Structure 1
């Protein structure tokens, strides 16, 4: 059975975005796209799950990078655009972009159906609401949390209830970001 893996930026105080969705606290550079672990996560996956709210920006960004062959993000953008994407939405039937399909059914049934299919793992890149629903329904098999060395005091979280996790790996980056990999217990 395929695993559903989460890759998400988070603050040391447990927020994934500011109260209004702000992401200005993230430590990001073009070097992240060359990070072996980030590439490993996408290279071992053949499907990307997205929540509707962040999909337009995600697709637009990576498809725009593909128009710039000299960009340092170009090879990573090729992966993002070519990998099939399943977007969960209750409000739209179609989303423009390459390799995109919309799923309007039950999140539990749809994710479990995807996990039972043959293939590589599935990775989720999404916002707090969608990720929270995946966690609440115990659908994520591996959480890769990129802990930024900043506290923002309030904002959006992905954990609504007590969630016991087992740390399976931890890597410190030169910029101070610590990548912690957990499995739910």
Structure 2
């Protein structure tokens, strides 16, 4: 299964402002959703999933397979998400459904877990034209080296670019 981390990142390396909100310029959310929906599957952490549902943005995510990873028991009975306890369990659920590509969409804890476990093939970063000054760093306390090969760059709009890397 092709596993891709996909993050919007500020020019100063943050995925959220100091309040923990990914307050990127207009169009960033739509670009993010478009790639997730094209892939038709998403894995996210509890905080990211909760933010999406709280702001009513879940409707923009039409991906058929959405999994939230949490060590806590979550009530997902009224949600379009399915739960998993670990990256390996999330991938096993998707594999059992015949999914061959997934976007790992955050947050930092989930991203770092996939990287630490060697479960990442690609990283896509949408570099956004904003500086937060402080907030949630893209990789935070990740310990270790991650070597990447730049595969492509593309301009998303007048001010933002997308970078696609392969983990080597």
Q: What SS does the corresponding residue of 2:9 show, helix, strand or coil?
A: strand
Give me the TM-score of the superposition, normalised by structure 2: 0.79
Deviations 1:114-151 (A, max 9, x none): 56543341112222222222222222222110101233
- Cα pair 2:25 2:130 within 8 Å, conserved: no
Unaligned runs of 5+ in 2: none
Aligned in 2, Cα 1:54/1:178: closer, same or farther, shift over 3 Å?
A: same
The yes-or-no answer on 1:131 pairing with 2:111 is: yes
Which residue among 127, 130, 143 is the counterpart of 1:150?
130
What residue in structure 2 maps to residue 59 of structure 1? Answer: 53
Give me the TM-score of the superposition, normalised by structure 1: 0.73
What residue in structure 2 maps to residue 49 of structure 1? Answer: 43
For 1:8-87, list aligned pairs within 5 A: 8-24=7-23, 26-29=24-27, 33=30, 39-43=34-38, 45-60=39-54, 61-63=56-58, 65=59, 77=60, 80-81=61-62, 83-87=64-68
CA–CA distance in structure 2, aligned partners of residues 180 and 91 of structure 1: 33
Q: What displacement does 1:47 show?
A: 2.2
What residue in structure 1 maps to residue 150 of structure 2? Answer: 167
CA–CA distance in structure 2, aligned partners of residues 170 and 110 of structure 1: 32
What residue in structure 1 maps to residue 71 of structure 2? Answer: 90
CA-atom RMSD, angstroms?
Answer: 2.6
